Structure 1
Amino acid sequence: MTADRITGITLSSVTLPLKAAISDAKVLTGRQRPMTEVAFLFAEIRTADGHEGLGFSYSKRAGGRAQFAHAEEVAPDLLGEDPSDIGRLWTKLVWAGASAGRSGASTQAVAAMDVALWDLKAKRARLPLAKLLGAHRDSVRCYDTTGGFLHEPLDRVLENAAASRAAGIGGIKIKVGHPSPAVDLARVRAVRESLGDEVPLMVDANQQWDRTAAQRMGRALEEFGLTWIEEPLDAYDAEGHAALARSLDTPIASGEMLTSVAEHHELIRLGAVDVIQPDAPRIGGITQFQRLATLAEHRNLTLAPHFAMEIHVHLAAAYPHEPWVEHFDWLHPLFDERLEIRDGRIHLSDRPGLGVTLSEQARAWTVARADLREGTGT
């Protein structure tokens, strides 16, 4: 049988404007400005046999142009290759840009192409990606983050939480890390009282506490029966997270800001998290996510991938232990399809691959584009 080959790649840099400026603890502590947009890198890969795959990566606040530029440099190395050889092609792309490193913007650029190759492979098999990977379930628990940011007044946070629950979302996560611990505790108490004791409730400090503050706040938050405390410390303080995890009853979650399997391995090795939160676009795509998922399964960790639910619902469905997926409605304008949410879970569709196609609105928000074709390199 003659192997298929990649004949064309389209790269698109798309800027998604947010409906309102978003603020978490990093803004309130002066480390970042409010977020008003998200930059996406889309990769569309075509083959000689007529198959197509769509993948994406993203960057918040800065980095979108860097991802696009790196992808444009290394993507020609895919032309003429067999799209089935995804592991080998991931390695080839990483080594093509090795001077830029094997984490951060360089591998995030590779991630978009890696995801597209997996989407293509699943479409060719006429299977949803989760089924191709080996699904353990047809739906995944979901929790909402969209309505719990610190720029929202408390009454609005309560309204958002109630609306999310009414829409069929299972859990609610709110942001903490306010300069005043009393404000944090008052907001958590109000949300817990509004939701009741049975609804899963998570909090996210976005790395804004030091070790002492995290210990004190962790103890103060114990009474609320939280599902987890997320990023209580700097993302790279694995030893601090490990000490906190040992001292608190509330599970500790982290990982979203890490950009390689190696960085996550340090969290796992030290027992620093109960809930691991990798982001496939940030760590290099689905190929790397699968490596990390194996490590997490070995330690019996709960998996709760960060953001990009359109990708992560498939990866979570293929994880042996019951996972969570984070619900964000920000990406809705980018795709023609919607995920089905009911009874506290996101349900897999029967559409092949990721099950999404780029919308005309996404194409209208394109700020840069590169079309690469076999035989031309451009």
Structure 2
Amino acid sequence: MTGAGPPLQGSNVKIARVETVPIRQELDRPFGSAQGWTTARQYLIVRVVADDGTVGYGECWGPIAGNQQVVEQIIAPMLEGEDPCATGRLWQRVAFKLRWAYHSFSPYSALSGVDLALWDLRGKLAGEPVHRLLGGACHERVSAYATGHYFRQVDRLDEQIAIVLDEAQANLGKGFRRLKLKIGLRLLGWGADADVALIRAVRERLGDDVPIMVDANCAYDVPTALRVGRACEDLGIGWFEEPLPPADLDGYAELSRKLDVPIAGGESWALLARFAEVFQRRAVSVAQPDVCSAGGITETKRIADLAAALNIRCIPHVWGTPIAIAASLQVAATLPQEVLLEYDQSDNPIRERLATEPFRLDSDGAVAVPQRPGLGIDLDEDELERFRWDPR
């Protein structure tokens, strides 16, 4: 079991069923990164229902159909009739089963979504927020940074730069104190020089006092990443995220040795064992596990604790619904280091409408950690049904 917490109530409650709800919303205007164009926001929501009617909610990262099949056909039969408060034991059972069934291609995003729902359910049964079950909060609020500033379908670099500058200014106007830019403009047929021009234009417009991070979404090889990284050093960039494909740990380690700008990564890695290898190689200075894909709250907390022990910052990757935001806040609240919340500002009607009370920035650019039981949020079931989608 991860962490210690107050005595649990409801230990006689059992899991009645596990349900999945695929949701999707087409976007009015596509946006892009180095990995391609996003034309819709879509997620697999997991519901774990206890026999007393209490419901826990989770979210899976990645392809809906594959995650749905794994949850419904493999994980759900393993959980029915089990104690929902036994999150650690159930995580180990399911992870072992997935390793046996899928070997090195295990779909840990499916496990992650179920794990989130179990922690939400466990917290509701205990009458406590998840961060208390994980050992207690070090932070009541978490400073947020605005992710966005994606690519648009334009013909000229100056048009793209103008769009990003306007969006960056708008996000500062919302109350954000930090921003993260997308680079990797090869999607639009431009090279690394265009990426550096974009970063420089934003820095010049916003000045030196606004922390700026950049995310390449695995766009480069090592020589190109070194060139962009040195420009990032000159421009005072806070971190250089996913410069390389996730399998190139030797390349990440080389960048970390040769560059002063912190190297960040983690959304493409899953499980403690993988992050332990990353940390052993000192391949990143900022670890970014995603609770919806790294193994859920159970495994993300283990990853974060190992990072803290090795003096590596852990700032979870977040790019989902209010479920992902709430779960990330619950974990982030327990971390002893300075933490940040990634708060996506790109087009996402699901993020804005799925929770009955959307997250908001306070006057200091921070988001309060939910204090109600479980993940601390309520979903609007009517909106959930409006977004429901059949991927098959």
Q: Normalization by structure 2: what TM-score?
A: 0.86
How many percent identity over aligned positions? 35
Give the direction of change, closer, same or farther, for the CA distance of 1:263–1:91 in structure 2 (3 Å limit). Answer: same
Q: Which amino acid aligns with 1:144?
A: A
Once residues 38 and 306 of structure 1 are traced to their aligned partners in structure 2, the CA distance between those partners, rounded to angstroms, is: 17
Match of residue 374 from structure 2: 353
Within 5 A, what are the aligned runs for 1:75-114? 75-101=76-102, 106-114=107-115
Task: Confirm whether residue 328 of structure 1 aligns to residue 328 of structure 2.
Answer: no
Counterpart contact for 1:22–1:36, Cα < 8 Å? yes
- Bigger shift: residues 50-59 or 239-248: 50-59
Q: Distance in 1 between matches of 2:38 and 2:106?
A: 19
2:38 alignment partner in structure 1: 35
Instruction: Tell me, yes or no, if the aligned pair for 2:58 and 2:114 is still in contact at 8 Å.
Output: yes
Q: Report the CA distance shift for 1:361/1:89 in structure 2 as closer, same or farther (over 3 A).
A: same
**Alpha-carbon shift at residue 104 of structure 1 (Å):** 5.6
Describe the SS at the equivalent of 1:194: helix
One-letter amino acid of the counterpart of residue 45, structure 1: V
Helix, strand or coil for the counterpart of 1:256?
coil
RMSD value, Cα: 2.1
- Rate the CA distance shift 1:105–1:146 in 2: closer, same or farther, 3 A: farther
> In the alignment, which of 199, 208, 214 is matched to residue 203 of structure 1?
214
Deviates further, 63-72 or 322-331:
322-331
Contact 2:237–2:261 under 8 Å retained in 1: yes
2: CA distance, partners of 1:344 / 1:151: 30
Listed as ranges, the matches of 1:1-378 within 5 Å are: 3-27=12-36, 34-59=37-62, 63-74=63-74, 75-101=76-102, 106-133=107-134, 134-149=136-151, 151=153, 153-178=160-185, 179-307=190-318, 308-329=324-345, 330=348, 331-342=351-362, 343-359=364-380, 360-368=382-390
Q: Distance in 1 between matches of 2:253 and 2:286?
A: 12
CA gap of 1:241–1:98, structure 2 versus 1, over 3 A, is closer
Instruction: Indicate if the aligned counterparts of 1:24 and 1:151 stay in contact, CA closer than 8 A.
Output: no
Given the superposition, is the C-alpha separation of residues 158 and 104 from structure 1 closer, same or farther in structure 2, using an over 3 Å criterion?
Answer: farther
Q: Secondary structure at the residue paired with 2:264?
A: strand
Q: Quote the residue 2:7 is aligned against.
A: none
Q: Distance in 1 between matches of 2:207 and 2:121?
A: 44
Please identify, of 93-102 and 239-248, the stretch whose mean Cα deviation from structure 2 is larger.
93-102
Measured after TM superposition, the shift of residue 202 of structure 1 is 0.4
Shift of 1:124: 2.2
Greater mean alpha carbon deviation, residues 114-123 or residues 349-358: 349-358
Count of aligned residue pairs for this structure pair? 360
Q: Quickly say closer, same or farther: Cα 1:105–1:22, change in 2 above 3 A.
A: farther
Structure 1 pair 135–248 and aligned structure 2 pair: CA distance change class (3 A):
same
Residues of 2 paired with 1:190 and 1:89: CA distance? 50
Matched residue type, 2:385: R
Gaps of 5+ in 1: 28-33, 370-378
Distance 2:177 2:120 in 1: 27
Cα distance per residue 1:135-176 (max 9 Å; x no partner): 110111211112344657222211211221121222111111
Residue 123 of structure 1 aligns to a residue whose secondary structure is helix
Using the TM superposition, give the Cα deviation of residue 105 of structure 1 relative to its aligned residue in structure 2, in angstroms: 6.1
Amino acid of the residue matched to residue 15 of structure 1? R
Q: 2: distance between equivalents of 1:185 and 1:311?
A: 34
- Mapped to 1, the partners of 2:99 and 2:58 lie a distance apart of 21
Kindly provide the amino acid, as one letter, of the partner of residue 288 in structure 1: E
What's the CA shift string for 1:14-66, capped at 9, x where partnerless? 22333421211233xxxxxx12123312121222334321111132xxx2100
Cα distance change, pair 151–196 in 1 and its aligned pair in 2 (3 A): farther
Contact 2:33–2:150 (CA under 8 A) maintained in structure 1: no
What one-letter code is carried by the residue in structure 2 that aligns with 1:72?
Answer: E
Closer, same or farther: CA 194–316 of 1 in aligned 2, 3 Å: same
Aligned CA distance change for structure 1 residues 298 and 95 (closer, same or farther; 3 Å): same
* Deviation, structure 1 residue 103: 6.5
- Matches of 2:264 and 2:153, distance apart in 1: 23
Contact 1:337-1:355 at 8 Å conserved across structures: no
Separation (CA, whole Å) in 1 of partners of 2:153 and 2:311:
35
2:361 maps to a residue whose letter is I
Equivalent position SS for 1:73? helix
Alignment TM-score, normalising by the size of structure 1: 0.89
Q: CA deviation at 1:363?
A: 1.6
Distance 1:241 1:95 in 2: 29
5+ residue gaps, structure 2: 1-9, 155-159, 319-323
Kept in 2: contact 1:103–1:284 (CA 8 A): no
Cα deviations by residue, 1:284-320 (Å, 9 ceiling, x for unpaired): 2111111111211111111111123232121111111
CA contact (8 A) 1:122 1:352 kept: yes
- Alpha carbons of structure 1 residues 328 and 105: separation in structure 2 relative to 1, 3 Å: farther
